[in-house]
Amino acid sequence: MAPTEFDLIDQFFSGMGASDHVLVGVGDDAAIIEMIDGWVLHVSTDTLTEGVHFLPDCSASDIAYRAVMTAASDLAAMGAAPRAMVLALSLPEPDTAWLEAFCTGLRAASADARLPLVGGDTTRGPLVITVTVMGATPADQCLLRSGAAPGERLCMSGTLGDAAAGLSLLRGELVATDPTDTAFLTARFLRPTARIPLGESLRGVATAAIDISDGLIADSTHLAKKSGVALQIDHRLLPRSTAFSAVVEPSQQLAYLLTGGDDYELLFTLPQSVQLPEGCTEIGRVMAGSGVSCDGMSAVGGYDHFGH
């Protein structure tokens, strides 16, 4: 007898749902999550489809890991402490080997992002993965896109352009001479890291934040618009990994840095008085006005799912 939907869920998705805050996990009509008095709930959902968000030959483990981390990154950008996630999985048929690999990646991401899996729905259909994540912050410490003020510093975590370069390597559009560079850059695309601890540390410290998912220009434009400010970026300050600098031609680097997406680093604004967190870089400043400029030139663009 083929495994039923319920068997699949029980068998593969069990054992990832424990946390101090999970009062009831998988197995009732809904999961129940404890909330701390005075804290508010943050929620975000992300859906990934084959051919759009991952390559057809991606491993199931990487697909799951990436699905969780891209959703978790939205919590990081809010400064939220992770609480729980639910997974909706549409897949062509209950393929045991695929599901086992998928769950390996899911389990790793659940642990790395501190997001217990408290519910799911598995159904037959085309491969579509939807992860909804929930987090919490004190009610008076939400990190929005809208708090930046002129005179502040524009900062970001990590390095930029790595994931876009990794994707180009996977597609054969770029070639690396050093396999270590290939491994690093492709992992930055396939296995992104949501900057959850950094986000939590920026609560009450940064004035605005967003995660860089669509590209630096696109996401800084969102932040500028919501805050009602202009953002000036100095391209010489943009943080590059050694692998990125080795693999991407100097003439191509700016395009990757400004419009390459999928890095899932945090972009945030800091008052002058606040120290830059470790591993972060000041890349520009907040000015009165509107829009985003790089080296004094106005910038537009960014990745769009329907636009390509």
Binders of a second copy among residues 181 to 240 (CB under 8 A) are 209-211, 226
150 binds a second copy (CB under 8 A): no
Tokens representing 272? 């002058």
Residue at token pair 């217990």: 116
Q: What string marks each residue from 32 to 51 as x (binds a second copy by CB under 8 A) or -?
A: xxxx-xxxxxxxxxxxxxxx
The C-alpha atoms of residue 119 and residue 138 are separated, in whole angstroms, by 25
Shortest Cβ 233–a second copy spacing (Å): 20
The C-alpha atoms of residue 41 and residue 82 are separated, in whole angstroms, by 10
* Residue number with CB closer to a second copy (182 or 269): 269
58 binds a second copy (CB under 8 A): no
Residue 199 vs residues 3, 74, 202, 272: alpha-carbon distances, Å: 41, 10, 5, 19
87 binds a second copy (CB under 8 A): yes
In the range 252-291, which residues lie near a second copy by CB under 8 A? none
11 binds a second copy (CB under 8 A): no
The C-alpha atoms of residue 53 and residue 240 are separated, in whole angstroms, by 24
Shortest Cβ 106–a second copy spacing (Å): 15
Query: How close are the terminal C-alpha atoms of the chain, in Å?
Result: 43
* Residue number with CB closer to a second copy (34 or 100): 34
Three-point CA angle 152, 262, 89, nearest 5°: 125
To the nearest 10 degrees (0 to 180), the angle between helices 96-112 and 60-78 is 30
Residues contacting a second copy: total by CB under 8 A: 76
Shortest Cβ 301–a second copy spacing (Å): 12
CA-based R_g, the chain, Å: 20
Residue at token pair 């086992």: 100
139 binds a second copy (CB under 8 A): yes
Shortest Cβ 2–a second copy spacing (Å): 6
306 binds a second copy (CB under 8 A): yes
Shortest Cβ 67–a second copy spacing (Å): 11
Q: Which of 119, 166, 192, 277 binds a second copy (CB under 8 A)?
A: 119
